[in-house]
Structure 1
């Protein structure tokens, strides 16, 4: 076996934990095309000639993402989606994943309907854990560009189903719409229900968006957060307060936040003591996998098994799941070390 192939195989085999994965955004294009065919829904506009998702920029990406969800209409559809997503993740060494779930796409944020969707996804996740050894937990997200009122309905769904499987609450969507403080009511509801909190920030909104998420929403983790590097005082605050960044390097490069991986700040943030983790965000949209993220980081920054092991340990500590689940995952990491 050639040296590069051996290295690729070794990185693929490393046990990985992913904290930033959008459930619908992880849907393989072939899966969405098949559902569209079954339901006789015309989605040709969101695919290129090779059958991959196609979009022009971040705003267009959001519209393509939402168009793809048009075929996901029932609890059974989301159960099938869960199986497809977890099969892909497990094939790249992922042993634990937290997926962002939006009740807006699951029964229109009606609590009763949401429970049915949730039950279907949990059953599929339980089977995937038995079959492939991958553990899934859900983080409910409101959609920023849907506005604060819809966010309250998502927060109610989160509060009503908080527990061992729904473990967190967050916000995703267009960072340029509204301010974090507009969603403080929803985050307070989720916090009172015992859920742990995260928020997308510092991808498009710059370092100030990170600061606002910390101050106004009081989150433990930041989704992306990479543009904090533009304010070293903020970087030091992240390090001192132990705020964990859910970094998605491939996504950031694909969407043009950075021109290439070598100019991505993940290594600078890590060197300054910020707790960084690695995730794929919406893997088929960005032509990535967890294995590819590891390979690219190895090539760009020379990250080795020791660094990837420390990244996995940070992700484990930052995971929103319960202590028993963490202990089981810790044993898997120790066995692989």
Structure 2
């Protein structure tokens, strides 16, 4: 395909009204920004800047997140990071995003969740005032935390009732942590009672059992990843019957070696089975992923036409935790795309 055709396709996908629902603040640092902050803090990087994002697997990737987030140790840096993420959303024509952040990665802010939320909110508020997309925050537990720590976080969020926070999340390496659904069930019940939505990482490094737990024990409104549900036909039927959406990140699944190729990736099989799926970037800067690029990748691999592309975008909007006015505006624009 020649460059002009590629550019035309990318421009059309940018104009597609859509939301992004699986996106981590921790994954929005560019390599140059990390290198700059590391120099200022006197911190050694594990690899040269040009190889910084060459990860050996999920464990290496998660360890790197701790290093990067540790450099965001001032209010100004969190404001800069949040504003930059909003600019990335606008560059891809994204109308709204649910952004996940996990307080455990941000060492400089431990014990100061309120101040951290205010700094992140300041960046997103400034961005919205400048006409950039609106953002909701999903505050995430780390899978290795205790049940008591999970409840403590939910209690803090309930007390603060920060208007930017829309959901409770849980993320981390399922394979390393083992089964955690029972441990966090009480925290997720409390989140539900407090009016928070629920989104759960599952079915990435774990198999289908993690997705079952996310739905049955944690009451997930949405599953982040969920791709390995394809290994259990009964689970696929349940997700389709209950219309529980999956926030799928194809490039992430390839880079972190969940699947060896797009041809083997199950997103199209899940969609064809009636499971609501959206495409997302997960950690866009660290994985060199863009939302326009994720749609284009699926179009090339699976032959998605306009109707399929529109239906996936529709799922992204409906699956988001945006307010009803934002959803209605995006869905109205999508209908005439």
- What is the TM-score normalised by the length of structure 1? 0.92
Measured after TM superposition, the shift of residue 159 of structure 1 is 2.0
Verify the 8 A CA contact 1:21 1:99 in the aligned structure 2.
Answer: yes
Partner of 2:123: 124
Measured after TM superposition, the shift of residue 123 of structure 1 is 2.0
Q: Spell out, residue by residue over 1:133-191, the C-alpha distance to the aligned partner (whole angstroms, 9 max, x if none).
A: 31111011001123433323332333233354211111000112142111112112211
Number of residue pairs matched? 332
Greater relative contact order, per chain length (Cα 8 Å cut-off, separation 6+): 2
Measured after TM superposition, the shift of residue 49 of structure 1 is 4.9
Partner of 2:214: 213
Measured after TM superposition, the shift of residue 3 of structure 1 is 2.5
User: Secondary structure at 1:100's aligned position in 2?
Assistant: strand
Select between 21-30 and 167-176 the one with higher mean Cα deviation.
21-30
Partner of 1:95: 95
Measured after TM superposition, the shift of residue 212 of structure 1 is 1.3
Select between 26-35 and 14-23 the one with higher mean Cα deviation.
26-35
- What is the TM-score normalised by the length of structure 2? 0.92
Verify the 8 A CA contact 2:214 2:220 in the aligned structure 1.
Answer: yes
What is the rounded CA distance, in whole Å, between the counterparts of 2:130 and 2:327 in structure 1?
19
Q: 1:70 to 1:297 in 2, by over 3 A?
A: same
What is the rounded CA distance, in whole Å, between the counterparts of 1:161 and 1:307 in structure 2?
41
Any unmatched runs of 5+ in structure 2? none
Partner of 2:25: 23
Q: Spell out, residue by residue over 1:282-323, the C-alpha distance to the aligned partner (whole angstroms, 9 max, x if none).
A: 112222111111111111011133222211211211212322
Partner of 2:265: 264
Matches within 5 A, 1:152-163: 152-162=151-161
Measured after TM superposition, the shift of residue 241 of structure 1 is 0.7
Verify the 8 A CA contact 2:97 2:136 in the aligned structure 1.
Answer: yes
Q: CA RMSD in A?
A: 1.9
Of 6, 9, 12, which aligns to 1:10? 12
Any unmatched runs of 5+ in structure 1? none
Partner of 1:37: 39
Select between 316-325 and 94-103 the one with higher mean Cα deviation.
316-325
